[in-house]
Amino acid sequence: MPVVSHPNLPSLERLESSELVIKEDDSKSESFSRHLHIGFLNLMPDAAFQATERQFVSMLASDDELLVHLYPTSVAADERGNEFKNYIDEHYNHIKDIQKRKYDGFIISGANPSQQDMTKETFWNPLIEVFEWAEENTNSVLCSCLATHAIMKAKYGIERQMRNEKAWGIFKHDVGKASHHLIQGLVDGFDGPHSHYYDFPINEIESTDLEILATNDFAGMYLASSKDGSLVLFQGHPEYGGNSLLKEYQREINNFVSGSRADYPPLPKNYFSSSKIKKIEELKQSLLSEPKHITLDESLISDIDLNWQSAGKIIYCNWLNSLV
């Protein structure tokens, strides 16, 4: 089950006690007969950079019989703060070194865009270049959220469209083509997180060689894939930790307080329990009358159901086994 990162990432140390991670020189690695080598392009902003590492590692540690070797890299780091520029320099592989070998699979994380036109983002050209390289040098490329939006545009010419309302929260999904290997073991109604202002017309996706594997009527596509699984596109976030939506909600509240958001953010759907919503509404009324930056206590999510992680691990386990 464990993941070993090359090189070791300091942020993963907290996962060692749960045996999700082992060090490069750990003798336990010799006990695994099956090994997979996965590249990982982390595009997330500084505030979520290390949490994203842990989230994807938790998904990759979903098969007890596999040892996953992870090779993290990043691009377009010029706009990062000095702390994370140094962190990447010290603990991440340079993209030119990553491209010197082939991999069983490659993961491209999402990112936080600063403008509507993705092609104007500093990460756009490097992302597309890495993706095109990965298509030729890995068995399967798995993209998350913003990376999925980028590939839909660059590879298929499908433009994302602004939604009337953000898809934000935990949603139940209908399973698409049940014979596809990635969704074996899933049933209609499985939960999964979404967090996106944009979406794709389903009919345009269906006009490509992609198969839509999971959708929600409100939130849209959760997962799509090529028939052979060589390209896997998540718009949903199976990797989210229990507090991911809480942190996003806190960020949006503070954006409202600072004036960078005009309206007070709505609650993510189907996330907070009914017993906690009253307390959250009281906080809202307090901040409307006396705005101030806040930190949300994780007691607000002490009773949430994390079953979306189980569904996510089924998908990732299927993906990993398809690479063996």
Angle at 248 between CA 247 and CA 250, to 5 degrees: 65
CA–CA distance, 42 with 39 (Å, rounded to integer):
10
Q: Distance from CA of residue 279 to its chain's centroid?
A: 29
Task: Tell me the CB-side half-sphere exposure of residue 156, using CA atoms within 13 A.
Answer: 22
Task: Tell me how many degrees the CA angle 69-49-32 measures, rounded to the nearest 5.
Answer: 15
| Active-site annotation holder among 53, 121, 211, 239 | 239
Helix H, strand E, coil C: the string for 23-89 is: CCCCHHHHHCCEEEEEEEECCCCHHHHHHHHHHHHHHHCCCCCEEEEEEEECCCCCCCCHHHHHHHH
Terminal alpha carbon distance of the chain: 14
Residue 237: active-site member: yes
Q: Where are the beta strands (DSSP E) in the chain?
A: 3-5, 34-41, 66-73, 103-108, 138-144, 161-175, 190-199, 210-216, 220-226, 231-234
Q: Give the whole-angstrom CA distance, residue 55 versus residue 257.
A: 29
Catalytic residue among 237, 248, 252, 317: 237
The DSSP 8-state label assigned to residue 222 in this structure reads E
Strands 190-199, 161-175: parallel, antiparallel or unpaired by DSSP? Answer: antiparallel
Give CA–CA dist 186/314, Å, rounded.
7
Which one of 145, 211, 248, 317 is the catalytic residue?
145
Q: What single letter denotes the amino acid at residue 256?
A: F
The 8 Å CB, 24+ separation contacts for 184-190 are 184/314, 184/318, 185/314, 185/318, 186/214, 186/311, 186/314, 186/315, 190/214, 190/308, 190/311
In the annotation, is 211 catalytic?
Answer: no
Catalytic residues, by residue number, are 145, 237, 239
